[in-house]
Structure 1
Amino acid sequence: MGGTVKEKILTLPTPYGGNLELHKNTWGKSGEPLSIVSGLQGDHLNGLFLNSHLTQFLDSIVEGLDPHYTLTGQVQTFPVVNVNAVQSGTRLWPLDGMDMDLAFPGNPEGETAEAIASAILQHTKDSFWGIILTSAPPHYEDAPHIQTHKPDSREKKMCRDLQIETARRQKDSPTQKVNLFHHWQEQEISSVMVSAGSPRTINPQQCEVLFQGILNFMKAEGILKDHRNKKPDNKIKTRIYDPDEEVLVRTSAAGMLLKEVKVGNFLKKGQKIGEVRDIYSGKRLEELAAPEDGLLITLRQYPIVYEKEPIAILLSGKDRWQKIGHVFQSIVKR
């Protein structure tokens, strides 16, 4: 078993003097690694916190300070990809305004974001598994969950091994061909994204859910050995929701949103989500309620909303059961 290796994989000059440095951490023996990437956006701080937690945990194992575990595979992490944006406290680096996750496959001779993207792809291309740590879009909060696109059998196994209750299959997007996740899949790297929380915030409780999920995965895949022979508690079954099982809740009036629920809650049809009030008079303009039963996976955090603004996403199995019912009825009629 190897020790911890911190490696500088890229050095670039910056307009402000000094250099930008990109690092990766590696633990364990050589082989097909698990790669974990965070900080593609500078405001996704939950991912940075989770990656630092993983670093502390893996360091304690290889240094012999944690007698419960042995690292039997290889893990490499890229804690802060968009270094400039993180340092400026923004989603994107203000100087170039480029979204780091829209710069792949990158170009080693290109602009800063393209050079970073090229380095990340080069250093992860031999991975067997990949996990991207992310958060909700600006102004929203996600409950901890897995994201994937068109999961094959290996990625479905990743979802099961993570034992995080909820997974969402993402819709195809015209921008997906220039993000890291797409290029990992093109290279047949089994990969998922895990999301939790809001931009510009750290939520240790949400990060702990993802941390335990990654530990579950490493143990299931033989990357990590637990010597305690502890029988697992009730194994969590992951439910993968399709895009047509997502229910979007929108406002009909502009104003100030006052929420009454939290992400991760299961809502019953008609349950109040919140209300919109007029900014000037304080008068209630509308009450927002769950249109059907479902898991509240995403909720708007920024309170100022426009007309027809999405404020919540519910995950409901209703469409799937309706389809099964229609198929069953058609079979019976035959």
Structure 2
Amino acid sequence: MPATARRRDPRLPPDTDVGGLVAWAARRLGRAGLHFGHGTDNAFDEAGALVFHALGIAHEDAPRAYSRRVDAPGRERVRELVARRIRERVPSAYLTGRTWFAGHEIEVTPAVLVPRSAIAELCTSGFAPWIDARRVRRVLDIGTGSGCIAIACAHAFPEARVDAVDVSHAALEVAARNIRAHGLEERVRTRLSNVYDGVGPRRYDIIVSNPPYVPARVVGLLPAEYAREPRLGLAAGRRGLDVVERILAGAERHLERGGVLVVEVGDTEGAVRRRWPEVPFTWLEFEHGGGGVFLLTAAGLRSHRQALAS
């Protein structure tokens, strides 16, 4: 093999431990021009996820596994998985079938977006200081996908019932499996619903959503990894506001007095500000990064009812 080819595809060490494989995989991934943004934001963390999955190492055992020697079949499984990540530009979470959100393990398939919302931080804090967690009895998660936000909310509010809605049958099947895996079937219910269409007159203490918000013309310009995700979960019309407009227009009718609406809009934040300049959005900041998430109180929705309905 020519030297240049060896530099592009360095051979696996013939005898190594788990830590050595993670370092090797991180180098390979880092040199391959990949996009890191689907549950991890760097080559090292992604390498760890792939290596641990290939070797069958449980998440909780990972810190103690780095010095473990790896046999030839194990090294080959790692090589194949890393090669597929590079060759096919498949997000690692789809290769492993698992990811973590707000401290909870979540199954993912190509039927759902890979969980990565900054809303996870809100879930772990019980949406403090925006609402009294002790009085939360009902939560609505719009566009639930894998069910990750609904599940995190159910863990955050143990007295609450959560409606997890989506327009995708396939996504709801994944969500239902995750709900069962967390033993939350009694409190988290999936519903086929286009925003509020399937929830009837119910009112909620929290309405939360990570909806599609990418302008349609932008979707094709995203890194190749995004093409592996369902377009239904990304694209939202010319300005990226098609679903957000519906969420805002109906939120007042479905929020309890004192309730809050939380929606992620990512890079579409500017379009939201321009579309509703008079609405008092609170743009949240997060300790661990991320942005483009707004909060509106029920009172704020009432006082700007006309603007949000137009």
Band of TM-score, shorter chain: under 0.3
Q: TM-score, normalised by structure 2?
A: 0.27
Q: Which has the higher helix share?
A: 2
Q: TM-score, normalised by structure 1?
A: 0.26
Structure of greater relative contact order (alpha carbons < 8 Å, 6+ residues apart): 1
Q: Which has the higher strand share?
A: 1
